[in-house]
Amino acid sequence: MSPVSNSTPALRLRNLRKTYKDVVAVDGMDLEVRRGECFGLLGPNGAGKTTTIEICEGLTAADAGEVELLGMRWETDEKALRQKLGIQLQETQLSDKLTVNETVRLFASFFHQGPSVHEVIAQAQLTEKRNARVGGLSGGQKQRLALGCALVGDPELLFLDEPTTGLDPQARRQLWDLIEEFKAGGRTILLTTHYMDEAERLCDRVAIMDHGRVIALATPRELIASIGIEHIVEFSVSGSAFDAGALHVIEGVRGVRHDNGSVQLQVTELHRAVPAVLEELTRSGVMLTELRTHSATLEDVFVTLTGRRLRDE
């Protein structure tokens, strides 16, 4: 195998396209993932994240475009690439009848190198469960096992497709810890998610995807700064005749969204805006039933860019 200089990017996509019948799943993607970074594809369901990542993994054929991984290509270097990639698919059910140990051992047998089965199981924090059947594991444990199976070959590049979807908050945090541990080893990760908090916590850089395209790409901090909003103020009022339009004129308020008695303000200076808003509410004689503020997140970036939310529940 040719030694690949570390200056080549871990992953490079050029003008990638994929159409299913009448759906354009990936619509001209260009992307470069650097060595050693954790790169996130963030977007709502149907944005084309899975299609993109599976093209990178050599599991789906693109209609057009180029994919280069670790300086290699699928057409010529499939065998070498398979040894160097760690892959977790969005929805694999591992065999219920096998134990954790048997499952990891099976996956490990396909790779020339990598940590021992024992080490992988310890890394996935499943040592206590190593002789338990996969069918009896909790959702979080199954997902950690799937991650373990992706790590058996000590991959240079790790693909994670929605690693924490459907898990409870505690199981998600546990998985994040494992991913961060792997990241600390200096390896490259490409992960997809539709959770903004996951992208913010794990990713060095994030590409926001919508309708098969990248609509913004930067570090989470830069993305949030780019919308020029620092805080979000949300409140609900009772009493029907409330004119949210009046809030526009308040100093520091950049945007107002109003639906069904719930109002969302995009604000730059919290300490000036909030008292002014409260004053305005008192003046209009409406009852405040709820008030919340939070710092702007990637979710707010997505809302600002598309007018829609990441998750539609």
List interacting residues with Mg ion (CB under 5 A): 49-50, 90
Contacted entry of ligand ADP, Mg ion, another protein, none for residue 48, CB cut-off 5 to 8 Å set by kind: ligand ADP
Rounded to an integer, what distance in angstroms lies between the CA atom of residue 56 and that of residue 18?
12
**Residue 87 engages ligand ADP in binding (rule: CB under 6 A):** no
**Candidate ranges 44-52, 61-69, 107-115, 218-226; the one touching another protein (CB under 8 A):** 107-115
Helix or strand (DSSP H, E) at 196: helix 196-202
* Least distance between another protein and beta carbon 157 (Å): 13
CB crowding 292-307: b at 16 or more within 10 Å, else e: eeeebbbbbbbbbeee
Is the four-CA dihedral 182, 161, 107, 101 of positive or negative sign? positive
Positions in 153-182 near another protein (CB under 8 A): 153
The residue from 2, 21, 112, 186 that contacts another protein (CB under 8 A) is 112
Q: At 69, which helix (H) or strand (E)?
A: strand 64-69
Asked if 282 interacts with another protein (CB under 8 A), we say no
Contact partner, 283, from Mg ion, another protein, ligand ADP, none, Cβ < 5-8 Å per class: none
Contact string (CB under 8 A) for another protein, positions 117-156, x = contact:
x-------------------------------x---x---
Q: Which of 27, 32, 77, 102 binds another protein (CB under 8 A)?
A: 102
Measured from each CB, the residue nearest to Mg ion is 50
Residue closer to Mg ion (CB basis): 21 or 271: 21
Report the distance separating Cα 193 and Cα 253, nearest Å: 30
The arrangement of strands across the sheet holding 64-69 comes to: 23-33, 11-20, 64-69
- Rounded Cα distance between 107 and 97, Å, is 15
